[in-house]
Amino acid sequence: MSSETKVPSLSPTAANFVRKVPAGDNMARQVCADCGFINYENPKIVVGSVCHWGDKVLLCRRAINPRKGHWTLPAGFLEMHETTTAGAAREAWEEARARIEIETLLAVYTVPRISQVQLMYRARLMTDEISAGPESLDVGLFGFDEIPWDDLAFPSVRWALHQFNESRHLTDFTAFTNPPGETGDF
């Protein structure tokens, strides 16, 4: 007899889930027809940073889809049991072998089309020694006028770079959000 205990999966594909509005709710959810468990589907959280070394910022050329070959900021999905700042630091290491010190929250973006919330930090590179990690084809430090604007992977990268440039010399400011007219539904 095994000492392992089987734990039933709560995955919608492994149980008898139906889509319905649970009692006391106003949105259709995945509900187990057998036990009533509600499988809440929530937005994904992306964490990243605009990392600077003097007057230059770190960009990574993506080695993975979506937008393989385009330039981005080091960012990715927050892991379970991870703080947002630890996640941003991890992403900088994974994508650019960059050691960073988080300075402040730069922006919170919402992208409802893909159910994402993006937390972007302003961070200082601890050293200018960077190299491509497994998710990057190349990495580089760019002055604001050297950024490959026509080859950026996502609109939020452009937003963060402009908002970083606007606030780079400020020590106290309110975190930015989606620019006016930019709903994130691109």
* Whole-number percent of the chain with pLDDT over 90: 77
H or E element that contains 70: none
In 3D space, the residue among 112, 76, 108, 70 whose CA is nearest the CA of residue 91 turns out to be 76
In the chain the domains, ranked by start, together with CATH numbers, are 11-41 (2.20.70), 44-167 (3.90.79.10)
Give per-residue pLDDT as tens, 171-181: 999 999 999 98
Query: For residue 128, with 0-12 CB atoms within 10 Å meaning exposed, 13-18 middle and 19 or more buried, which class applies?
Result: exposed
pTM (predicted TM-score)? 0.84
Structure tokens at 65: 């889809």
- Strands of the sheet containing 38-39, edge to edge, are 17-20, 29-32, 38-39
> What is the distance of C-alpha 23 from the center of its chain?
33
Backbone angles phi, psi at 25, to 5 degrees: -115, 175
Give per-residue pLDDT as tens, 42-95: 899 999 999 999 999 999 999 999 999 999 999 999 999 999 999 999 999 999
Integer distance in angstroms from the first to the last C-alpha of the chain?
55
Q: Is it true that the peptide bond before 66 is cis, omega within 30 degrees of 0? A: yes
- Which pLDDT value is given to residue 144? 97
Give per-residue pLDDT as tens, 91-129: 999 999 999 999 999 999 999 989 999 999 999 999 999
